[in-house]
Amino acid sequence: MNGDRVLAAGAGLLTPLTLFLIVVCLCFLLCLVSGMAGETASDYYVAERSLPAVRSALALCGDYIPVTALLSPIGTVALSGYDSMVLAAGACAALIVLVVLAEPLRNTGRFTLGSILETRTAGAAPRIAGTVLTLVVCVPLVVVQLTVAGNVITYLLGLKAPAAARVCTVLIGLLIVSFAAFGGMRGTSMIQAGKALLVFGVVLVLTVVAGRRFDGDFGTMTREAALGVGGAEVFHSPGGLFGTTATGTLELLSLGLTVLLGSAVVPPVLLRIGAARSGRTARRAAGHAVVMITSFYTALVFLGLAAAAVVGTGAIVGDDPQGNTTLFLLARALDEGAADGMLFTTTACAVFVTALASVAGLTLATAAALSHDIYAHTLRRGAVPDRRETVVARWATVAVGSASVFLAVLLHGWSMVFLASFSAAVAASVILPALVYTLFWKGFTRRGMLWTLYGSLACCLVLQFFSPTVSGQSYSLLPGHDFHWFPLQSIALFTVPAGFLLGWIGSRLAPPTPAELTQGTAARIRMLTGIG
């Protein structure tokens, strides 16, 4: 009897809040110890290029699983069925793109977007453009992640005050700034790898428990999941997300293209590839990550079906119309009323760690572009002591993180669809074409590069600004106005071809100079062989 009371008391102390505080302390200690292991700029940015394949693969998975990727797919599968399963397949295939790019990217010997682009043409323009794009992609993603993390933590702690989410956002943001500034690549890599293991473990446990709820009968679970949305014929047919019209079909294709092409080339992933020991190690790490991420998204689809069957679509929509709290509702339901609530508490802990690690990676990548490309190589032309660059990198991390926290608080309550859609579209439409041409096309010139970078960025700005994500819909950034003429939320279906076309036209109009041909030949040899 006394033993049961002790166990109950111990379980009562293990709440989401206490687990969160324990995780914060452990992560901060880990970052502090890891970050102080080296004082060089190379160690801070890419851990002296020492990460083995398995750790790199786990860290890549951590970079690839932000808070939104952990919470959103389960809810959308539960509410829309077929369309969300297609998008999950696209998310798995995105890392196959990285498998193709990983080895030549690592063989360049560079780790920021601007420095990779500079391998094909000299001058400050590639580094400046790379930094601009890094800011355009990463800062909105940081704001989105911080906002979602603040809302989730407020939900988990049961806080109702309107200012509670802003306070949580500020506290989480300041913690993340500290982690990234102290830990650098070593610290964030260890946290990302640990986060991946924790998230995979939680998803596996939830999958097993959900499977046991239906005695392993997947057919019964699928049939019950379909009941809440009009039956199997509706649930397993296209149109659940955007409708069955031509515009809805194009919307699904465009969003799938964004997920497929944009996720693999965001700046934190490029930084992570640069930290691998060699090009072969980077390719192996990307291959391992494909297997892990495929298993992860397969489990998320399963959990989405389980949530629809166990929780019910009505309860999911009633708690959050977007379905972002579905994971917590499912975990609470699978606890079966247990007093300790361990399944729910562990799930909450995994979400905490995901928020901390994801934003730290984005912040570090942005700070690396500012300190390495702008300060060290554009303003100081490479004449910067190594220790000085490290100090500037740490302060750049603090500045970027603090600015992002301020923006997240300022924009709290606004629609985040615009920021998320725009960042993903830029990665797919601007960064990917520039990298593909840089790595694989010998005719790529300075003009073609700038046309791709700035021309495609301008296309993304125009189309996204006049899309429903800004005006004309209830989920728009400005719901009270309507000046949109572009019908799709996701613009990649049009901007990705534009990015490749602009690079080709620009390069054809200005053929490479002898100096560019020489530099391009040397770069291609290095990318293919790793020599030099």
Q: CB-hemisphere CA count at 13 Å for 129?
A: 27
pLDDT greater than 60 at residue 459 = yes
Average pLDDT, the chain: 80
For residue range 164-208, what is the model confidence (pLDDT) as tens digits? 778 878 887 877 777 777 767 777 777 788 888 888 988 898 888
Tell me, what's the pLDDT at 456?
92
Q: Which residue has the higher pLDDT, 225 or 127?
A: 127
Q: What is the DSSP string of 479-529?
A: TT--------S--HHHHHHHHHHHHHHHHHHSPPPHHHHHHHHHHHHHHHH
Q: What is the DSSP letter of 51?
A: B
How far is Cα 404 from Cα 176, in angstroms, rounded to an integer? 11
Taking residues 116-133, report their average pLDDT: 86
How far is Cα 308 from Cα 326, in angstroms, rounded to an integer? 9
For 130, phi and psi rounded to 5 degrees? -60, -40
Taking residues 332-348, report their average pLDDT: 71
23 Cβ neighbours under 8 A, 6+ residues apart: 349, 352, 353, 356
Closest alpha carbon to 484 in 496, 470, 498: 470
Taking residues 477-499, report their average pLDDT: 88
pLDDT greater than 70 at residue 116 = yes
Task: Using the structure block, give the residue that is written with the tokens 């580094």.
Answer: 127
Tell me, what's the pLDDT at 457?
93
Tell me, what's the pLDDT at 377?
84
pLDDT greater than 50 at residue 1 = no
Whether 311 and 333 have beta carbons less than 8 Å apart is answered as: yes
How far is Cα 373 from Cα 375, in angstroms, rounded to an integer? 6
Whether 473 and 479 have beta carbons less than 8 Å apart is answered as: yes
Conformation bin of residue 386: beta by default, left when phi > 0, alpha when psi is -120 to 50: alpha
Question: What element of type H or E holds 7?
Answer: helix 2-13
Q: How confident is the model at residue 26 (pLDDT cuts 50, 70, 90)?
A: low
Taking residues 250-266, report their average pLDDT: 86
How far is Cα 300 from Cα 52, in angstroms, rounded to an integer? 28
Give me the residues paired with residue 471 across strands: 478
How far is Cα 521 from Cα 134, in angstroms, rounded to an integer? 27
Closest alpha carbon to 201 in 332, 346, 56, 91: 346
Q: What is the DSSP string of 69-84?
A: HHHHHHHHHHHHTHHH
Residue spans per domain, the chain = 15-414
- What is the percent of the chain with per-residue pLDDT over 90, rounded to a whole number? 9
How far is Cα 282 from Cα 286, in angstroms, rounded to an integer? 6
For residue range 471-484, what is the model confidence (pLDDT) as tens digits? 888 878 888 888 88
Which of 29-38, 100-109, 271-280 bottoms out in mean pLDDT, i.e. has the lowest? 29-38
For residue range 366-420, what is the model confidence (pLDDT) as tens digits? 888 888 888 888 888 877 787 888 888 888 888 888 888 888 888 887 777 788 8
For residue range 213-255, what is the model confidence (pLDDT) as tens digits? 877 777 777 777 777 666 666 677 777 777 778 888 888 888 8
pTM metric for this prediction: 0.86
Tell me, what's the pLDDT at 10?
44
How far is Cα 71 from Cα 326, in angstroms, rounded to an integer? 7
Which of 249-258, 294-303, 342-351 bottoms out in mean pLDDT, i.e. has the lowest? 342-351
Which of 101-110, 126-135, 217-226, 448-457 bottoms out in mean pLDDT, i.e. has the lowest? 217-226
Query: If one looks up domain 15-414 in CATH, what number appears?
Result: 1.20.1730.10
Tell me, what's the pLDDT at 451?
92
Tell me, what's the pLDDT at 532?
59
Tell me, what's the pLDDT at 38?
53
Taking residues 458-476, report their average pLDDT: 88
Tell me, what's the pLDDT at 231?
64
